[in-house]
Amino acid sequence: MQNLFSTAIPEAALKKALGYFQQGAAELRPYLHALTPDERSAMLKMGAKTVDFVRKTYDYASANPSFVPIFVDVEEFARDAAAVQGLAPVQQLLDGLALDTESTLMLAGSDAYAAALALYNNIKFLAKNQHPGAQAAYDDLSQQFPGNGGGRPPKALKG
């Protein structure tokens, strides 16, 4: 059986990291805003190429007040641009960490599920051969696969 992940993450490291993330979230929460999916899809999106455009436009507006239409609040524009500049490195760090965390969960989860399926299949075999205690364990575990007839894991998942 292939083992894709073989790292024991110390509980102390997990607790410490979680504490840091909770502290960071609490620090930023008053300044963050949640959007609905509809709100998100209706918004203008600022990407990597747009950042330079926004900065240059702000520079022109600051140097040439006559360029600014009456309905544009340059001070608000400056606050918004500063928020983007300040949050961008936080978002980049979180995106990378989220991707690596998701990948690690996927590796560890795949290994754990493969081991569980191998054990389950062995318990199933032992139950068929009337090994003491195996039938009760099989009956309990087979409830995980109610739609596959007879407690069989899906074919793609058999270990």
Catalogue the long-range contacts made by 105-111 (C-beta closer than 8 Å, 24 or more residues apart).
107/4, 107/5, 108/5, 110/4, 110/5, 111/3, 111/4, 111/5
pLDDT at 151: 64
C-beta of residue 21 within 8 angstroms of C-beta of residue 134: no
pLDDT digits (tens, 9 = 90+) for 44-77: 999 888 989 999 999 999 999 999 999 999 999 9
Task: Check: pTM over 0.85? Answer yes or no.
Answer: no
Please state, in angstroms and rounded to a whole number, the distance separating the CA atoms of residues 152 and 155: 8
Mean pLDDT, rounded, for 17-39: 96
Residue 159, pLDDT score: 47
Query: What is the pLDDT of the chain when averaged over all its residues?
Result: 92
As a whole number of Å, the end-to-end CA separation of the chain is 8
* Structure tokens belonging to residue 18: 């979680």
Q: What is the mean pLDDT of residues 78-101?
A: 94
Q: What is the mean pLDDT of residues 94-110?
A: 96
DSSP string, 24-52: HHHHHGGG-----HHHHHHS----HHHHH
